[in-house]
Amino acid sequence: MRKHADEIVTRMTVDLDNLIHNYEVVRRYVSPARLYAVVKSEAYGHGAVPVARALAGSGCRSFAVAAVDEGIQLRRAGIEGDILMMGATLPVQFGAMARKDITPVLPDLQRMQAWAKQAQKSQKRLPYHIKVDVGLGRMGFMPRAGKQAAEEAETLRENLHLVGIGSHLSHPSGSEEKNRTEQRRFERFCAPFEKRFPHIRRHLAASQAAARFEGMHYEMVRIGGLLYGFEHIKPSPVPLRAVMSLKTAVAQVKTLPSGWNIGYGEQHPVTEPTRVALLPLGWTDGLTSFHIGSTRLLVRGQPCTLVGVCTDFSMLDVSHLSEVQTGDEVVLVGCQGDRRITPIKLGQGAGISTGQLLGKLSIRVPRLYLSDGECVEELSVLNYQ
């Protein structure tokens, strides 16, 4: 960790105390369901290992990832407990998963049979979950295949331990009717398992559904966004705290004449003299061309429109702020004065989800981890291994 944090211009800060607060209030809210902390995609850009370590230190023993290497990363970092691999897996990956005690979510009979063969090869009974597609058109059995899947699970019981059955709603913020329809499909699939496997954990709800539909908590929930303070549902059923901020600084200020253009492909034609502030971050750091013209960042407590984005640079219209100068703080996510930009709001400016936004935020933006207001860890290209 660098001794002089003020040398870092573009930075993300992650408040570990607020993360732990969110974990505790959500855990109590969904109880007695078991909470799996979703740390896929580098914990939605926050940094999977520092986040998982902080949560483990607060008693979390269940984590969810979406790639086998993400699970191995956690094991190498010393994370114990359950690691659920929610993404697609192929049999060629099963050996590594068995060695690292990573539990797969299996979408078909063939994968169940291949996992059973791995159990025989590993000479140990292996855990797994089953995935059902209730309307997302993604991975999993179709709802009508519940009986067939249950019979196969019974056949493979000697080598495999069925832990749970999971699915994901296609539009948890959509109509209640649609969500209830998908819930019924889920329960239809699960019904044949009830007598054969009475202790399985059913899990349908991720953060949005967990906040909106208490009746979908079942025995287990997968929580990502709520841990990171994303208020998908307002008012939130639990008192969440903001976990991350994303800030940079003005690198140059100049006035462009009418007839000039800003950005590649004439992203923003200049129709009148415009004062522009250059920022040292761009596409690689979370922004997109879709943010242009619709997104406002904070400078000197005032919203300023984004008028250009390149790979490594962005441009703001600061014509209404004559006092803006090089070195001024720019807030993409966080507070400045009495104004606040949330990760959800920054994503909405481009018409994308928070996951899409933060999942593409490169590691060259240093993550600074705070506890009791002090920086206790840094994750960046200087120490990323």
Contact call for residues 209 and 216 (beta carbons, < 8 A): yes
**Predicted confidence band of residue 265 (pLDDT cuts 50, 70, 90):** confident
CB count in 10 Å sphere of residue 308 = 25
Cis? peptide before 32, omega within 30° of 0: yes
pLDDT digits (tens, 9 = 90+) for 327-360: 999 999 999 999 999 999 999 999 999 989 998 8
Is it the case that residue 3 has pLDDT exceeding 70?
Answer: no
> How would you label 261-283 residue by residue, b for 16+ Cβ within 10 Å and e otherwise?
ebbeeebbebeeebbbbebbbbb
Contact call for residues 317 and 276 (beta carbons, < 8 A): yes
List 365's β-bridge partners, or say none.
none
Degrees, nearest 5: CA angle 99-104-109: 120
Contact call for residues 64 and 84 (beta carbons, < 8 A): yes
pLDDT of res. 384: 64
List 370's β-bridge partners, or say none.
15, 375
Q: Where in the chain is the domain with CATH 3.20.20.10?
A: 16-223
pLDDT of res. 385: 55
The values of phi and psi at residue 3, to 5°, are -75, -30
The pTM (predicted TM-score) of the whole model is 0.94
Rounded CA gap, 189 and 173, in Å? 23
The percent of residues above 70 in pLDDT, for the chain, comes to 98
Q: Where in the chain is the domain with CATH 2.40.37.10?
A: 244-341
16-223 CATH, one of 3.20.20.10, 1.10.510.10, 3.90.1490.10, 3.40.50.970:
3.20.20.10
Rounded CA gap, 38 and 52, in Å? 9
Quote the tokens at residue 3.
């001794």
State the amino acid at position 108 in one-letter form.
D
Is it the case that residue 1 has pLDDT exceeding 70?
Answer: no
Highest CATH level, class, for 244-341: mainly beta
Rounded CA gap, 64 and 74, in Å? 10
pLDDT of res. 199: 94
Give long-range contacts, CB 8 A cutoff, 24+ apart: 198-201: 200/162, 200/163, 200/164, 200/165, 201/34, 201/129, 201/163, 201/164, 201/165
Is it the case that residue 229 has pLDDT exceeding 70?
Answer: yes
pLDDT of res. 233: 85
List 14's β-bridge partners, or say none.
244, 369
Residue with tokens 């290992």: 49
Mean of the per-residue pLDDT values of the chain: 95
pLDDT digits (tens, 9 = 90+) for 165-201: 999 999 999 999 999 999 999 999 999 999 999 999 9
Q: Which ranges in 191-276 belong to alpha helices (H)?
A: 207-212
**Helical pair 48-57 and 16-30, crossing angle rounded to 10 deg:** 60
pLDDT of res. 91: 97
Contact call for residues 114 and 122 (beta carbons, < 8 A): no
Rounded CA gap, 222 and 165, in Å? 12
Going by C-alpha positions, the residue among 48, 106, 109 that lies closest to residue 79 is: 48
| Maximum separation of any 2 CA atoms in the chain, in Å | 76
Q: Which helix (H) or strand (E) holds 378?
A: strand 374-379
Rounded CA gap, 163 and 105, in Å? 10
Sign of CA dihedral 320, 321, 327, 333: negative
Q: Give mean pLDDT, residues 249-265.
A: 94
DSSP state of 93: G
Q: What is the 3 state secondary structure string of 248-272? A: EECCEEEEECCCCEECHHHCEECCC
> How would you label 190-207 residue by residue, b for 16+ Cβ within 10 Å and e otherwise?
bebbeeebeebbbbbbbb
Going by C-alpha positions, the residue among 385, 289, 382, 361 that lies closest to residue 14 is: 361
**210 CB contacts (<8 Å, ≥6 apart)?**
26, 29, 30, 216, 217, 221, 223, 226
Quote the tokens at residue 383.
């120490």
